Amino acid sequence: MFCNQCQETLKNVGCTERGVCGKTNDVANLQDLLIHMQRGISFFQIELRKKGMADKEADVKLMENLFSTITNTNFSKEKMLEFIRASIEVREKLRNQCEKAGMKFDPELPDYAVWDFKTEEEAMSKAPETGHLTFTDEDRRGLYLLVIYSLKGITAYLHHAYALGYDDDSISAFMNEALIATWDRNTPMDQMLNWVMRTGEYGVKTMDLLDKANTSTYGTPVPTPVNLGVRDRPGILISGHDLKDLHELLEQTKGSGVDVYTHGEMLPANYYPFFKRYDNFVGNYGNSWWKQILDFDTFNGPVILTSNCLVPPLEKYKDRVYTTGVVGFDGVKHIPDRKKGGAKDFSGVIEHAKKCSPPKQIETGQIVGGFNHATLWELRGKVLDAVKAGKIRKFVVMAGCDGRHKTREYYTEFAKALPKDAVILTAGCAKYRYNKIVLDSIDGIPRVIDAGQCNDSYSLAVFALKLAKELNIDVNELPLAFNIAWYEQKAELILLALLYLGFKNIRIGPTMPAFVTPNIAKILVEKFGLGLNTTVEQDMRVLVG
């Protein structure tokens, strides 16, 4: 294996024997092969699309398969083999549809369009031929990975939108084309760069789609104080990003005597008006994803992982962990997907919860969030008045991911060091570094404005763009600075989306992605002013003044 897709990759180079995340060598290699098989699906799907005959099942499978390869999502070797076999079945179905439609193909089809296997050994032998180390040109490899890893981010967001009945065929069509073009060693380098920027464009499209899906289904988030304490009743802890899973769980726990708490990136569910109708929806328990080893232990009840980020569970609470959707880990219980028109069955989890002790209280108090772009737009007059009066000097976007490395203490210290006339705009699990520390406000405006999950970084961008348009200035002239953290592939997509939208002089950290070569970094610096954060003192001078 050689996996460098996350920020914690070994020595910021690549994991070669076992992932820092806990992923095994076999799973990492099979994930490369699974991605390769999505090229096979794409090859025939592109041809069918030309005739208006695209197969929706194939789009869904491709979306689910790429999503399963995101960091901390699926650790199961058996599941990877199952996904690869299913991908080949879908590919062959598409090929048959093409042939029935009279399409003719070159006898020498690409490897990904014909390869098959019978044994696990054949799959394991094939996998190394399908990874990114087959690129001999490091810059080409880096651009390929910028696209592929960001496509994974697209599929994660698209998956949540699709669960709520929202879809956009153009996004699937783009992914088909990008998977093939960026793997082709004959694609000119300027076109590779174009694929990178187009990926940012479709990242914006996907986040817009998910925003519509979430708000149309559950209402526009509103500023909400979220309870951090516990009740004296059994509970279920739900983590991840999938709001439909939470909805179905809450519906099935009504009147059961079992409470529901959010964890990690599910925290922003507390901001949606729809979920406030459930009196057994208590609030948020615990902290960021990487602290789940502590949080899941003290929670005492069952835990449901609806998407990334899963840390390999400890034996002492492993029997209380449930996965669903594309999440997988050998030895834990899995909740099957909903059948068409139906709901997932959480009855087993609910019965399990009834036999458990109530959660142990680990903190008290409240935190406030719920500042979707629509909510922020309603507050723009108040915000502009505070800026004009000199009460707010700077807005600093500190969105993105959290992680385990000690270097991430930088973000806590940066937040603490911000002057009292600076306001943090945040989204994603990065907020856990400071959302329980910076609690004051300016004329009723919280100094930590939380837009929601990582995809809601889109909300912050939309608000800034609309405000700049109303003021008739370039968005980069706003009193706005970016100091964002990345960990996994959705954050990589968000960065490309921001660059596509025209935001410049963004600082990222704690490290530059390992797959970004010096030449690619030079382009990003010269064209967009992208930079790496340094020390709190130096970055404070540059970003805030």
**Of 191, 217, 243, which closes a domain?**
217
Domain that holds residue 331: 224-354
Helices (H), 395-482: 409-417, 457-471
CATH number, residue 212: 1.20.1270.20
Residue 399 to residue 315: CA distance in whole angstroms: 33
Residues 6+ apart with CB under 8 A from 475: 464, 465, 468, 501, 502, 503
- In this structure, are 148 and 243 located in the same domain? no
Q: Decide if pLDDT at 451 tops 90.
A: yes
Mean of all residue pLDDT scores within the chain: 97
Q: Is there a domain that residue 508 lies in?
A: no
- In this structure, are 45 and 161 located in the same domain? yes
User: Does the pTM exceed 0.95?
Assistant: yes
CB atoms within 10 A of CB 68: 24
Q: Decide if pLDDT at 298 tops 90.
A: yes
Task: State pLDDT tens for residues 4-26.
Answer: 999 999 999 999 999 999 999 99
Residue 112 to residue 107: CA distance in whole angstroms: 14
Q: Decide if pLDDT at 173 tops 90.
A: yes
- In this structure, are 194 and 261 located in the same domain? no
| One-letter amino acid for residue 313 of the chain | P
- In this structure, are 249 and 201 located in the same domain? no
- In this structure, are 207 and 254 located in the same domain? no
Confidence of residue 333 (pLDDT cuts 50, 70, 90): very high
- In this structure, are 166 and 233 located in the same domain? no
- In this structure, are 38 and 102 located in the same domain? yes
Q: Is there a domain that residue 239 lies in?
A: yes
Q: Decide if pLDDT at 439 tops 90.
A: no
Residues 6+ apart with CB under 8 A from 49: 173, 176
For 361-384, the DSSP string reads: P---SEEEE---HHHHHHTHHHHH
**Of 217, 241, 265, which closes a domain?**
217
**What strand order describes the sheet that includes 321-324?**
281-284, 259-263, 235-239, 303-305, 321-324, 333-335
Q: Is there a domain that residue 52 lies in?
A: yes
- The answer to whether 462 and 489 are in contact (CB under 8 A) is no
**Of 177, 199, 217, which closes a domain?**
217
Task: State pLDDT tens for residues 101-112.
Answer: 999 998 899 999
Task: State pLDDT tens for residues 195-212.
Answer: 999 999 999 999 999 999
**Please, how many CA atoms are within 13 Å of residue 509, restricted to the half-sphere of its CB?**
22
Beta bridge partners of 322: 304, 333
Q: Is there a domain that residue 116 lies in?
A: yes
| One-letter amino acid for residue 529 of the chain | G
CATH number, residue 248: 3.40.50.2030
Residue 255 to residue 278: CA distance in whole angstroms: 10
- In this structure, are 174 and 60 located in the same domain? yes
- The answer to whether 44 and 113 are in contact (CB under 8 A) is yes
Count of domains observed in the chain: 2
For 314-325, the DSSP string reads: -HHHHTTEEEET
For 12-38, the DSSP string reads: GT-BSSB-TTS-BHHHHHHHHHHHHHH
- In this structure, are 164 and 70 located in the same domain? yes
Q: Which of 365, 96, 291 is nearest to 303 (CA)?
A: 291
Q: Is there a domain that residue 478 lies in?
A: no
Confidence of residue 438 (pLDDT cuts 50, 70, 90): confident
Q: Is there a domain that residue 445 lies in?
A: no
Task: State pLDDT tens for residues 406-422.
Answer: 999 999 999 999 999 99
3-class SS of residue 282: strand
Q: Exposure of 267 by Cβ count < 10 A (0-12 exposed, 13-18 middle, 19+ buried)? A: buried
The stretch 144-149 carries a mean pLDDT of 98
| One-letter amino acid for residue 138 of the chain | E
Q: Is there a domain that residue 407 lies in?
A: no
- In this structure, are 180 and 248 located in the same domain? no
The stretch 524-529 carries a mean pLDDT of 96
The stretch 136-165 carries a mean pLDDT of 98
Q: Is there a domain that residue 408 lies in?
A: no
The stretch 522-527 carries a mean pLDDT of 96
- In this structure, are 213 and 241 located in the same domain? no
Confidence of residue 355 (pLDDT cuts 50, 70, 90): very high
> What is the pLDDT, as a whole number, of residue 516?
97
- In this structure, are 274 and 334 located in the same domain? yes
